[in-house]
């Protein structure tokens, strides 16, 4: 039962990560930042997204490896699945599976942020 719970909550978190990342990208594009400042903003927001994912993983008492897995699935697999669904709402968050250099760097940043956050010991009870 714990494995099914972890898989279900992990899938929900991956969906949330995909939607949040697309929101971050749209926010940076709307800010008017170009080239280097845009990449720096996306990296900072991606690191924050990684920390939030790690915190959610810890709050839901999921295994530690769930956070990096959720980030990778949310960046690569979920957008492809959303793009395959013929709906205007899912097309907004869909995309192809290929990562650009900036996206790959943002994913690596978010994954490292999640790993560092999970490496900090939880409070003792």
pLDDT for the residue 125:
42
Task: Please choose, from the candidates 107, 120, 11, 125, the residue with its C-alpha nearest in 3D space to the C-alpha of residue 60.
Answer: 11
* Domain hosting residue 23, numbered range: 2-119
Does some domain include residue 125?
no
| Mean pLDDT, rounded, of the chain | 84
Residue 124 lies in a domain: no
Of 64, 28, 87, 1, nearest in space to 20 by CA: 28
Quick check: 71 and 104 in contact, CB under 8 A?
no
Q: What value, to the nearest 5°, has the Cα angle with vertex 97 and ends 43 and 50?
A: 30
Q: For the chain, which residues score pLDDT lower than 70?
A: 1-2, 97, 122-125
Residue 43 falls within a domain, yes or no?
A: yes
Indicate the number of domains in the chain: 1
What gap in Å lies between CA 30 and CA 32, rounded to an integer? 5
Residue among 71, 93, 73 nearest 82 (CA): 93
Residue 67: name the closest of 122, 40, 107 by CA. 107
DSSP code of residue 63:
-
pTM: 0.81
- What is the structure's pLDDT at 2? 67
Residue 82, pLDDT score: 83
Residue 63 included in any domain = yes
């Amino acid at each position: 039962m714990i494995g099914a719970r972890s898989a279900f909550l992990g899938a929900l978190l991956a969906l949330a990560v995909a939607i949040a990342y697309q929101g971050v990208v749209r926010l940076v594009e709307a800010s008017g930042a170009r080239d280097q400042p845009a990449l720096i903003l996306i990296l900072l927001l991606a690191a924050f997204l990684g920390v939030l994912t790690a915190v959610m993983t810890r709050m839901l008492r999921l295994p530690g490896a769930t956070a990096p897995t959720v980030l990778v699935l949310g960046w690569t697999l979920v957008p492809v699945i959303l793009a395959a669904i013929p709906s205007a709402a899912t097309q907004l968050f869909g995309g192809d599976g290929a990562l650009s250099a900036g996206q790959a760097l943002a994913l690596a940043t978010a994954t490292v942020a999640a790993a560092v956050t999970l490496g900090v010991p939880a409070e003792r009870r």
